[in-house]
Structure 1
Amino acid sequence: MNFLFSEGKFNGSELTVVGRNPILNKVREMSVVGGNGVFRLARGYARLRTYSFNATNLNAIMEYHVTVIHY
């Protein structure tokens, strides 16, 4: 999954997060594996929490807390 920053000091940069995301688990952890712009060579992790999930239409609202080191 890529996160694109569209304003502020990270405008135009992307952060790339990958990993298994078992949506029914309360809290998950995924890896930050890089990005572009200011996040080139970034490493770190993201902790995810499902804020809400609608099983009828499969829509979910996720909360991400990301710790990243970039050079």
Structure 2
Amino acid sequence: MSKETGGPAFPRSNNFSSGGGGGNSSGMTLRDYLAAKAMQATQSNPEWNHWSTEQHAVYAYGVADAMLAERSKP
């Protein structure tokens, strides 16, 4: 089962007027962006610096998944 990603965080068109390019670049997913923000918050908090990097990552993606689930509610 794949996780909901929320789609691209910063979608943009690559239609360059001076030759070449075209197509779309989706970059990072919204899930990755939210997880990065959550991980930044936990790692900058001195009370949480006893966690391993892996624990921060697991927590951060848990936060991101919860935010995406809440976002999809009517």
- Given the two structures, how large is their TM-score scaled by the length of structure 2? 0.25
Larger fraction in strand:
1
Higher relative contact order structure (alpha carbons within 8 Å, sequence separation ≥ 6): 2
Rg: which structure is higher? 2
Larger fraction in helix:
2
